[in-house]
A and B are shown apart, each in its own frame.
Chain A
Amino acid sequence: MAERTRFTLNGAAVEVAVAPGERLSRALRERLGARDVKVGCEAGDCGSCTVLLDGAPVCACLVPAQRAEGRRVETLSGLVAQDPVTRALAESFQDFAAAQCGICTPGMMVSATALLRETSAPDEARVEEALAGVLCRCTGYRKIIAAVMAAGAGRRRAAEGGVGAAIRRIDGAAKVEGREAFGDDIAPSGTLEICLVRSPHAHASFTFGDLEAFAARPGIAAVLTARDIPGLNRFGVIPAFADQPVFAEGVARFRGEPVAAIVATPEALRGLADEDFPVVWQALPTVQGPAAATAPGAPQLHEDRPGNVMCEGLVRCGDAQAALAAADVVVEGVFETSFVEHACIEPEAGFARLDGDGRLEVHACTQAPMMDREALARILSWPEERIRIRPTAVGGGFGTKLDLSVQPFLALGALRTGRPVRMAYSRCESMQSTTKRHPARIRLAVGAAHDGHLRGVDFAADFDTGAYASWGPTVASRVPVHASGPYRVADYLARARAIHTHAPPAGAFRGFGVPQAAFAQECLFDELAAKLGMDALEFRLLNALDNGVATVCGQVFARGVGISPCLEALRPGWAAECAAAEDFNAGGGSLRRGVGLAAGWYGCGNTSLPNPSTIRAGLRADGALVLHQGAVDIGQGANTVIAQIFAQALGVPLSALTLMGPDTDLTPDAGKTSASRQTFVSGNAARLAGAALREHILRLVNASAGARIVPDGGRLRILDNGKTHEIDPARLPPDTEGYVLRGEESWDPPTRALDENGQGAPYAQFGYGAQLAVVEVDMELGTTRVLRMAAAHDVGRAINPLLVEGQVEGGIAQGLGMALMEEYLPGRTENLHDYLIPTVGDVPPVEVMIIEEPDPLGPHGAKGLGEHVLVPTAAAIANAIAAATGVRPRRLPITPARLRALIREAGG
């Protein structure tokens, strides 16, 4: 069937046999090795596969390969090598840290190249138009726009610098040159592929037909079901709650749950239709939403979890009911949020093989390599030592890649067939089956005295945790700790329940339920301030938590409570923007502007549980200073930040380091990339490891603590008080790993367990933030545009301010999507044109204000950041909408139809 197609690829003539109708993206990646062309959706929605066809940007996934016949195709790797425009753009992207995870970068840069060939100095509107077809989930787009506008302006940012320096990412070059290898970029072409058979129903029993006959079809190497699992057909990120089967057994509990896997050649898989697989489904009654799930007589998802209640969390101090009864003013409300999809532009993908020693090697995009290894060991009933996890570059994680996805299927497929296997979820599969942000239904009452002081908070939330536990228990325990917001609340009661429903598992998503709680709490704070006749900012400042003041858990921080400085930083903007909005609205018309603000906090690290990180470093006999960095960089910048901390502790330039990326064979456990913990926890381990190695080096020559270490062509020169010592590592005895000197240190944030009232010390530090949003609402249509945002975040110490800005802007983009457009509906929004995430035109300019209230425990005072960046966003936008319209949205997302209905009800 294959047909010869000839075209020019990056300047070279190519001839390739393609299947009729084969997508150009597939031909480029699998037949011509152009893995710099990324595939994110196969529907023209994400633009990551953008290539130039005769100079014009097109989505390679929507172009039949045959149509390239006789034409010119250019991809990022070729453009970077050959076109000065793209080379300049690559420098600019690095200067602005415009690539975070890097998965959208090829699409962005190729699209931008087409624009820059037309005009060397495009204005922002032209850039926006050119990039509108490429989705980015990490950056919030602002740095990308800036990078394109400044392309060609010359290099402006250093690659070298210690703590506090806004240097380029150390892993940026690969991202902008198309060399970064993500989950689907590892497997050789022609590798056996795995395709899953998934439940088309939210709840169904099923029986298989003749699997053996099916498996005997040509090209099919194996068919796997639950009975093929050597160990435990169960996994889950929290061992006590592990409940999710790799393959459902008899009953599927959510649409998209896998029941079988087909391992086959690519050609055989592409010839299969869904109905070819022998399985018969019997749809069963479902429960959707916690209210239905907890109603009497509701179908039960798990026998051992009566009432579909998986778990509950509680924090209580003082007497909330009595305080509310005695309060002068009380406001209350019910707030609802939706399933939110992570929408990583990289769908889950990986590759696995058995190595020469019969060990299993899994390459996949993951945020938690050590947890993956533990889980696979249980599923395979293998010792962990026989499993090696080699994380690929991760094209967006945000929490969803903490859970297993492709890994068990890859492992089982490689074991069963004895051959290398690969798989990549389609966009639809990724959306159907991976974790989501928990929808919440929150009932909240807040009281205050006439003088504005808070008097009682009563919070109760039900979270839809879907069919399986995932991180639901974490949400249930974390939310009550955070639902007060960063305020002093003496009388407090917060309860959270995680409820099972027939929906995809809800898990970790940037904030673990805290953004949902903040939406309710910060909106009610605005209502309360209004009732009190107080300014919304001053009301928050009056009640802000402070050093020496107990949190609702009774935890007292002597230093580092940074919420007041964050709020103070917003004060000038708040006054100016409120006045400007008033002026605008005086002009009449259907557009109304409003300004809103919200604050938030986020406890860094696991809740009252150990979560140590270990960092290893060593001096090799050849003089290399090697940093074993096991903290997965999912785009947030751990590779750079941890190296900056380590290099400063060791006292050498970054360029002197040899980095060894995460690999369970090579890097000690730096824990998972979650809970805003890598800068804080792994950063501390890196600081200690650097100091330890430095001490060993200096001791060797009896140098003083202030001596300088200068790597010099395989040797180290030690400059100490005018004397120079030389260390020739080649003359020192190496250990089994080849190190002549090494430093390996662990650090675990000190916490204390929560008692039955949630009292204790859940986190060793919190990060704080406050944001201000200016919106414009079309009162007749209910549409909202966010015009500007200002964000003040207390990071303790900005190890790399450039990356801090990137986190803030990216978090705001996700919070904006959650506020205005994102709602995952199983079976209905399983692609990126029905499930909408913000485009380049939706994220407004963000004024980032970095606040540095040093944390006594953080490395150089640093605090975690990754999550509090989006905790206040949806609330700030909702408050701005309320200010603009006079109506109060209590359900996210605030779609045009929902907002217009509120305005209509109010007579507008």
Chain B
Amino acid sequence: MGYLTPSCVDEALEILARGGVFVIAGATDFYPARDAGPMPKLMDITAIPGLRGIRKEGGSWRIGATTTWSQIATAALPPAFDALRQAAAQVGAVQVRNVATIAGNLCNASPAADGVPPLLVLEAEVELASARGRRRLALSRFITGPRQTALAPDELLVALHIPAPPERARSAFLKIGSRKHQVISFAMAAALIAPDAGRIGTARVAVGACSPVVCRLPGLEQALKGRPLAVLAEPGLARDEHLSPLSPIADIRADAAWRREAAGVLAGRALNAAGGPADG
């Protein structure tokens, strides 16, 4: 059989342990990247019921691997997840969001993956399973380079775990391209702000499409901690030294100078959106 549809995780892991299969979920990155030639042996994990869906586990949240972006975009989640839901609503178009999965976005490991900045500011962990056992890894350690992850050949990303966000945290996501829909980001940013008595209790900000791996800006986060919330509305929030983790490149979409500048602008705007007055 060239097309395997395991119905439970253990079955999938057995197949993976034997090797020789390519795992697909939504397959929205798989097909466009296919070259001419014979189809590899595929293992479709979308028929595994336990891999889909979002649920609260105590204070933390679990998002199953094959949860689609449409499901995430419309899920009832606390305001700390706003960035994730906003990103979810901008992954491709509805046709793609209806099938593309969160795990696929992470395993494809594009530097422009929309899901990564919001999940970084949520400090998400991935749960990796194999016939050898299970392990958890911070998302920031899971994606190791463009199109590279820490996933072992016999492992399956089965879920994301998001620790309880700081109290009253809100988040926001922004991405930029040269058209309105179906945008592969030229640059993007997600930010999370938790207020603490009129001041910034927690600030987290991540920038995408401006480095080989989406990254947080710890210098900026540190600089903001403890300051009045009102500073988030000030222009020029992200200074050059805050952007040092970035190493933007020039490609068909934009040049490096624009990316560095836009990263700062978007980071500042995302922080402001996350820390500004709540809607309604």
Please say whether chains A and B are actual partners in one complex: yes
Shortest Cβ distance from residue B79 to the other chain A in the assembled complex, whole angstroms: 22
- Cβ A900 vs Cβ B41 within 8 A: no
Given A133-B94, A900-B261, answer yes or no on A62-B99 (Cβ-Cβ < 8 Å). Answer: yes
Name B19-61 residues within 8 Å CB distance of A: 24, 26-28, 31-32, 35-42, 44, 46
- Cβ A820 vs Cβ B178 within 8 A: yes
Instruction: Give the B interface residue count (CB, 8 A).
Output: 48
CA A783 to CA B176, docked complex, whole Å: 8
- Cβ A833 vs Cβ B98 within 8 A: no
A273 contact set on B, CB distance < 8 A: 35-38
CA A347 to CA B192, docked complex, whole Å: 44
Shortest Cβ distance from residue A16 to the other chain B in the assembled complex, whole angstroms: 14
For A839, give the chain B residue with the smallest CB separation: B181
A823 contact set on B, CB distance < 8 A: 252
B257 contacts the other chain (CB 8 A): yes
- Cβ A20 vs Cβ B2 within 8 A: yes
A67 contact set on B, CB distance < 8 A: 44, 46
For B255, give the chain A residue with the smallest CB separation: A897
B184 contact set on A, CB distance < 8 A: 833-834
- Cβ A66 vs Cβ B36 within 8 A: no
- Cβ A896 vs Cβ B186 within 8 A: yes
CA A896 to CA B187, docked complex, whole Å: 11
Specify the main secondary structure of chain B where it touches its partner. Answer: loop
A641 contact set on B, CB distance < 8 A: none
CA A834 to CA B44, docked complex, whole Å: 27
Given A43-B31, A841-B180, answer yes or no on A64-B44 (Cβ-Cβ < 8 Å). Answer: yes
CA A823 to CA B31, docked complex, whole Å: 24
Name A655-671 residues within 8 Å CB distance of B: none
B257 contact set on A, CB distance < 8 A: 897, 901, 904
CA A42 to CA B33, docked complex, whole Å: 10
Shortest Cβ distance from residue A576 to the other chain B in the assembled complex, whole angstroms: 25
CA A43 to CA B182, docked complex, whole Å: 12
CA A823 to CA B24, docked complex, whole Å: 32
B96 contacts the other chain (CB 8 A): yes
The 8 A CB mask of B242-255 against A (1 = contact, 0 = none) is 00000000001111
CA A904 to CA B177, docked complex, whole Å: 19
Given A43-B32, A57-B98, A901-B257, answer yes or no on A64-B3 (Cβ-Cβ < 8 Å). Answer: yes
CA A841 to CA B258, docked complex, whole Å: 24
Instruction: Give the segment of A434-442, A727-735, A824-832 that binds chain B.
Output: A824-832
A272 contacts the other chain (CB 8 A): yes
CA A57 to CA B96, docked complex, whole Å: 9
Instruction: Give the segment of A44-52, A206-214, A393-401 that binds chain B.
Output: A44-52
Shortest Cβ distance from residue A344 to the other chain B in the assembled complex, whole angstroms: 18
A139 contacts the other chain (CB 8 A): no
Given A62-B96, A133-B92, answer yes or no on A841-B261 (Cβ-Cβ < 8 Å). Answer: no
B178 contact set on A, CB distance < 8 A: 783, 820-821, 836, 893, 895-896
CA A1 to CA B1, docked complex, whole Å: 7
Shortest Cβ distance from residue B27 to the other chain A in the assembled complex, whole angstroms: 6
- Cβ A833 vs Cβ B182 within 8 A: yes
The 8 A CB mask of A775-802 against B (1 = contact, 0 = none) is 0000011110100000000000000000
- Cβ A47 vs Cβ B176 within 8 A: no
CA A36 to CA B192, docked complex, whole Å: 46
A838 contacts the other chain (CB 8 A): yes
- Cβ B93 vs Cβ A132 within 8 A: yes
B74 contacts the other chain (CB 8 A): no
CA A840 to CA B93, docked complex, whole Å: 11
Given A62-B31, A271-B38, answer yes or no on A44-B179 (Cβ-Cβ < 8 Å). Answer: no
- Cβ B3 vs Cβ A842 within 8 A: no
- Cβ A831 vs Cβ B254 within 8 A: no
B46 contact set on A, CB distance < 8 A: 67
- Cβ B95 vs Cβ A47 within 8 A: yes
B262 contacts the other chain (CB 8 A): yes
A111 contacts the other chain (CB 8 A): yes
Shortest Cβ distance from residue B262 to the other chain A in the assembled complex, whole angstroms: 6
CA A845 to CA B72, docked complex, whole Å: 32
B5 contacts the other chain (CB 8 A): yes
- Cβ B93 vs Cβ A133 within 8 A: yes
CA A142 to CA B269, docked complex, whole Å: 31
- Cβ A274 vs Cβ B37 within 8 A: yes
Name B78-93 residues within 8 Å CB distance of A: 92-93
Extra pairs beyond A56-B70, A132-B93, A897-B258 (18, CB < 8 Å): A3-B2, A20-B1, A44-B96, A56-B98, A62-B99, A63-B27, A114-B94, A133-B93, A133-B95, A273-B38, A780-B261, A820-B179, A828-B252, A829-B252, A833-B32, A839-B182, A900-B262, A901-B257
Q: List 13 A-B contacts (CB under 8 A).
A: A44-B28, A44-B96, A45-B32, A61-B31, A64-B3, A132-B181, A274-B35, A831-B32, A834-B252, A839-B181, A842-B179, A896-B178, A897-B254
Q: Which residues of A pack against B, CB within 8 Å?
A: 1, 3, 19-23, 42-45, 47, 50, 53, 56-59, 61-64, 66-67, 111, 114, 128-130, 132-134, 270-274, 276, 780-783, 785, 820-821, 823, 825, 828-829, 831, 833-834, 836, 838-842, 893, 895-897, 900-901, 904
For the complex of A and B, the 9 pairs showing the least CB-CB separation, nearest first, are A133-B93, A20-B2, A273-B37, A841-B180, A132-B181, A897-B258, A43-B32, A20-B3, A897-B254
Q: Which residues of B pack against A, CB within 8 Å?
A: 1-3, 5, 24, 26-28, 31-32, 35-42, 44, 46, 70, 92-96, 98-99, 176-182, 184, 186, 252-255, 257-259, 261-262, 265-266
